[in-house]
Amino acid sequence: MQLEFDTTVIVLAAGLLLLWALGLGVLKYHQMSTSADGAAHRYVDIAHRAALMYSFAALVLAVLAQFSAWSVPVDLTAASVVLLFFVAAIAGYTVHGVRRDTENQFVHPVPGTHVFMLLLIIGEIGGTAVLVAGFVAEQF
């Protein structure tokens, strides 16, 4: 069975997120093996776990898109918004973990942090809601 283009792109993104998570696992191992307390930086750990979870979440998005009533461009746009924020979150966690510059990015946030979080909330929930609605419209 040939997948729709949107589903193919989303599954590829899931695979790339999984590869990124595995690479972050190597970074986590390196930090654990070279630190005095045997622990990786908090944000390297967060980035690793987030990338793993987001890779599987992307597969859920792919299934929703594959069985959606909406057009390929609508589903791909909705999923792309969600995936963009997944990538941005992982990248931010990774930067903090490599730089070891904070234990909590909200204690002294850089300008735009709260705006980014609001956009992330709207984008991730909104994009996922579009895909769920398309799935419900097609399947029920």
Query: Quick check: 5 and 68 in contact, CB under 8 A?
Result: no
**pLDDT at 25 (0 to 100):** 98
Domain count, the chain: 1
pLDDT tens-digit profile of 2-59?
999 999 999 999 999 999 999 999 999 999 999 999 999 999 999 999 999 999 999 9
* pLDDT tens per residue across span 62-115: 999 999 999 999 999 999 999 999 999 999 999 999 999 999 999 999 999 999
Q: Name the residue range of residue 123's domain.
A: 5-139
**DSSP code per residue over the chain:** -PPPHHHHHHHHHHHHHHHHHHHHHHHHHHHHHHSTTS---HHHHHHHHHHHHHHHHHHHHHHHHHT-SS-HHHHHHHHHHHHHHHHHHHHHHHHHHHHT--S-TTTSPPTTHHHHHHHHHHHHHHHHHHHHHHHHHHH-
Residue 89 and residue 117: Cα distance in Å, rounded?
9
Question: pTM for the complete prediction?
Answer: 0.95
| pLDDT above 90: residue 1 | no
